[in-house]
Amino acid sequence: MTHASVAAHGRARVVPAALVCAAAPAFFVAQVPWLGWLLLALGLGAALLIERGERPSRRTDRLRQPSLVRDLSLIAVGMLIVSVIPLAAELDNLAMLRFTLALGGAVLVPYLLSRFVFHDHAIRFPWRTGQRWGRLQWGWLVAVLVLGWLILPFYFLTSGVYLNWPVVDTPDLIARLFIGVGAVGIWDELFFICTVFALLRRHFPDALANVLQAVVFVSFLWELGYREWGPLLTIPFALLQGFIFLRTHSLAYVVTVHLLFDAVVFAVLVHAHNPGLLPIFLI
């Protein structure tokens, strides 16, 4: 196979991955389920045709390489599970149970399929790396708090997107919001980084895999409530989380970054619904 044909082959493999990831905006932004199903079917079908169309020698090599069809199917399964529930933020018992089952299943089912059906370790959750965080890592944690304190109140209050979250005006509701925001933040890293990003990195350069996972990440956040000009914040955040994971290989660190960011989100939402209760912001 010539260099040109290898390059063309690699470019062709981007198409099914892009189709599968494009299902996320169909599900979570446009909220047109049939379009999401169609894009997933086209993406998986294209991946299957590409792998079946490989030359015999290439297919032999692929026996030792990860299957694009299998890995994209794991991403598709996770998105399908999430798409069965509305992602509007609600704090009643039924809504929290619904989120727990759907989001938990979106991480657990692909992991179990990868581990016990496909018999590989494509999905891992590297909580501890054995390395201490350096000054840069600690400095970024401080920067996240400062940037969140400066930017998030302006975004939530001037755009009105805080209204996408329920009013929290009692201790019980405030506690539920705190738990919900933190739990979803942890799940984001388990699914978008440790599942979607990790699977895509097995087939594509890190930068391309990061862009593709960001499409899925930002689409989910849109339906969750980060609308209006929210993507101007969520797109860089999603890309940065992928980049940070590449540099640290630490789930603990990216979760810490996300939880600090979400702590500010929580405080802003409480402040927005209860002016004067948390007089710590400039607006």
Q: Tens digits of per-residue pLDDT, 159-191?
A: 999 999 999 999 999 999 999 999 999 999 999
Catalogue the long-range contacts made by 38-41 (C-beta closer than 8 Å, 24 or more residues apart).
40/76, 40/79, 40/80
pLDDT at 36 over 90: yes
pLDDT for 81 equals: 98
Query: How would residue 56 be classed by pLDDT, with cut points 50, 70 and 90?
Result: low
Q: Say if residue 54's pLDDT is above 80.
A: no
Q: How far apart are the C-alpha atoms of 174 and 28, rounded to whole Å?
A: 26
Q: Report the pLDDT value the prediction gives residue 8, as an integer from 0 to 100.
A: 52
Which is nearest to 180 in space by CA: 273, 116, 65, 88?
88
Contact 89/225 with Cβ under 8 angstroms?
yes
Angle, helices 231-248 vs 206-224, to 10°: value is: 140
Instruction: Give the model's pLDDT for residue 46.
Output: 96
Question: DSSP label at 228?
Answer: T
pLDDT-derived band at 9, boundaries 50, 70, 90: low
| DSSP classification of residue 234 | H
What value does the mean pLDDT take over residues 203-212?
97
For residues 222-238, average pLDDT? 96
Is the confidence at residue 60, as pLDDT, over 90? no
Q: In the numeric block, which tokens belong to residue 170?
A: 């009692």
Q: What one-character DSSP code corresponds to residue 255?
A: H
| pTM (predicted TM-score) | 0.92
For a pLDDT cut of 90, what percent of the chain falls above it? 81
Please name the residue that has the structure tokens 């890592």. Answer: 137
Residue 155: CB atoms within 10 A of its CB come to 19
pLDDT at residue 86 greater than cutoff 80: yes
At 1 the pLDDT is 44
Average pLDDT, stretch 72-79?
Answer: 98
61 vs 170, which has greater pLDDT? 170
